[in-house]
Amino acid sequence: MDDAVIDVTHAKSETQLKELASLARLIAFARENAKELNAEFPAHCLELALNSLLQDLQNNAAPEIAEEGQRLEAAFAVHH
């Protein structure tokens, strides 16, 4: 089970960064579904989680992965 956990404070490998970007996409999708269901508190918690992941990607990622996170956030903000 420990193999499945990603230490986001030391995520430096390309594989780990891609996993974080995938997790950000998943959380963004869940957040938007929570908003559509008027589940305000879960949507807020997911928003906090997403912002944390995006910040972590910006701090640790290659520019293209961080940009992907920003595009993801903008796409969900426009379409939902």
pTM value > 0.75: no
Question: What's residue 11's pLDDT?
Answer: 42
Q: Give the model confidence (pLDDT) of 51-74 as tens digits.
A: 998 888 888 766 666 666 667 667
| DSSP 8-state symbol, 8 | G
Spans of all domains in the chain:
13-79
CB 43 within 8 A of CB 55: no
- Give the HSE-up count for residue 32: Cα atoms under 13 Å, Cβ half-sphere: 14
The one-letter amino acid code at 61 reads: A
- Give the Cβ contact number of residue 27 at 10 Å: 21
Q: Give the model confidence (pLDDT) of 26-57 as tens digits.
A: 999 999 999 999 999 999 999 999 999 888 88
> What is the spatial distance between Cα 34 and Cα 36, in angstroms, rounded to a whole number?
5
